[in-house]
Amino acid sequence: MVGRRASDVNASSADAAPTVSIGLAVYNGERHLAAAIDSILAQTFTDFELVICDNASTDGTEALCRGYERADERVRYHRNDRNIGGARNENLTFERSRAQYFRWAAHDDVLAPTLLERCVDVLDAHPDVVLCHTDVVTIDEDGNEFGLIARRRDPTLGPVERFRELTDVAVGCEETYGLMRSDALAATGLQRNYTDSDRTLLAHLALLGRFHEIPEPLFYKRVHAGNSMHTFPDWRDRMQWFGDDVAGRITLPHWSQLWHYLAVITTAPVSIGSKLRLYGFMFVWVGRYRRWRSLGKDLVIAAYRLVARTRARLGRGAT
């Protein structure tokens, strides 16, 4: 059996880099946070650190996290002086991590005890796998199970086909909670400040290596009214999650993703032939699900807001 288990070692020492880093970004997550942290600390694979980045919470999150930090040396707590936005806070958990493998964790999700053990075994045994994930059980606010997400993607697909699958907007991005190789994740540049950038990140990772799915329900994803996609169902409204400075700008989220995809293809470690196929696919991507309408809507709304701001500025100057 590969890797260290609870029966083999105690918690990793404070001065040694662990095998796994778990990055937990949180803002006002007091209600479900303890259950999430408890499920992480109860893992059968113990050689990990839990990096918590608190986005200037105003509830009891700080006191709760500091209590866990005092009780378990694997917990490292950082509190931002101000709210820096959701994506930047999640990226910060990775930037503060030290391990060769990394996994993001949400403050309201729960892990089965063997999740890390099973995923570490896969990454240790298969150097070409950059991300390992499991089946996902969806639970409601009270922890009641109501669904199962099982991707069952073809493991023999090449990078072009993997990229195509992961750009499908009809499918969720639960794989972002898989265990990843830190060097591969670092090569993506992490999440950017536009809605659906987690999908672009996954597509980028797919060009760097294979994903492996463990067909066992070891991850419990909480779906409730507090999730950002439910709080802000519209793409443009959801930009508020990225921070006040981002939400206050004139944004083009669909164009941002298109240009990001093209940049990812340009720098991808694949053959020229594969890159040409990927560039050609982007024309299909624009047409799929009438994405051209979203791109056009971006321009119309941006122009409207620009005119409104210009009029407001001129109005203030005339008074």
Task: Write out pLDDT tens, residues 139-172.
Answer: 999 999 999 999 999 989 999 999 999 998 888 9
Q: Is 110 exposed, middle or buried (0-12, 13-18, 19+ CB in 10 A)?
A: buried
pLDDT value at position 287? 86
Is residue 27 within 8 Å of 86, Cβ to Cβ?
yes
pLDDT, mean of residues 219-226: 87
Round the average pLDDT of the chain to a whole number and report it.
89
Among candidate residues 5, 29, 7, the one with its CA nearest the CA of residue 19: 5
Q: What is the dihedral of CA 265, 268, 273, 277, to 10 degrees?
A: -30
Q: Which secondary-structure segment (H or E) carries 105? A: strand 101-106
Among candidate residues 145, 150, 211, 126, the one with its CA nearest the CA of residue 176: 211
Q: Is 127 helix (H, G, I), strand (E, B) or coil?
A: coil
pLDDT value at position 45? 98
pLDDT value at position 2? 36
Distance CA 41, CA 65 (A): 13
Q: How confident is the model at residue 238 (pLDDT cuts 50, 70, 90)?
A: low
Q: What share of the chain has pLDDT > 90, as a percent?
A: 73
pLDDT, mean of residues 275-282: 96
pLDDT, mean of residues 75-93: 96
Is residue 228 within 8 Å of 292, Cβ to Cβ?
no
pLDDT, mean of residues 195-224: 96
Q: Does residue 239 have a pLDDT over 70? A: no
Is residue 240 within 8 Å of 232, Cβ to Cβ?
yes
pLDDT value at position 5? 40
Of 27-36, 62-71, 158-167, 223-232, least confident by mean pLDDT is 223-232
pLDDT value at position 302? 85
Token pair of 142, please? 């009270």
Residue 160, Ramachandran bin (φ over 0: left; ψ between -120 and 50: alpha; else beta): alpha
pLDDT value at position 263? 97
Is residue 50 within 8 Å of 119, Cβ to Cβ?
no
pLDDT value at position 12? 43
Token pair of 222, please? 């909480």
pLDDT value at position 173? 93
pLDDT value at position 166? 94
Residue 147 makes CB contacts below 8 A (sequence gap 6+) with 137, 138
Is residue 74 within 8 Å of 48, Cβ to Cβ?
yes
Tell me the pTM. 0.88
CA-based Rg of the chain, rounded to a whole angstrom? 21
Distance CA 47, CA 148 (A): 29
pLDDT value at position 9? 39
pLDDT, mean of residues 115-138: 98
Of 30-44, 84-98, 104-118, 279-293, least confident by mean pLDDT is 279-293
Other residues' Cβ atoms within 10 Å of the Cβ of residue 242:
25
Q: Is 274 exposed, middle or buried (0-12, 13-18, 19+ CB in 10 A)?
A: middle
Token pair of 26, please? 């949180």
Q: Does residue 303 have a pLDDT over 80? A: yes
Handedness of CA 188, 193, 199, 203 (dihedral sign): negative
Of 58-67, 94-103, 287-296, least confident by mean pLDDT is 287-296
> For the chain, which residues make up each domain, given as ranges?
1-109, 244-318
pLDDT, mean of residues 284-298: 86
pLDDT value at position 220? 97
Task: Indicate the DSSP class of residue 13.
Answer: P
Is residue 264 within 8 Å of 204, Cβ to Cβ?
yes
Tell me the CATH architecture of domain 1-109: Alpha-Beta Complex (3.90)
Tell me, what amino acid is at 80?
A: N
pLDDT, mean of residues 296-318: 80
Q: Does residue 318 have a pLDDT over 80? A: no
Among candidate residues 93, 104, 109, 89, the one with its CA nearest the CA of residue 32: 109
pLDDT value at position 113? 98
Q: Please, what is the end-to-end C-alpha distance for the chain in angstroms?
A: 75
Token pair of 130, please? 């950059």
Q: How confident is the model at residue 309 (pLDDT cuts 50, 70, 90)?
A: confident
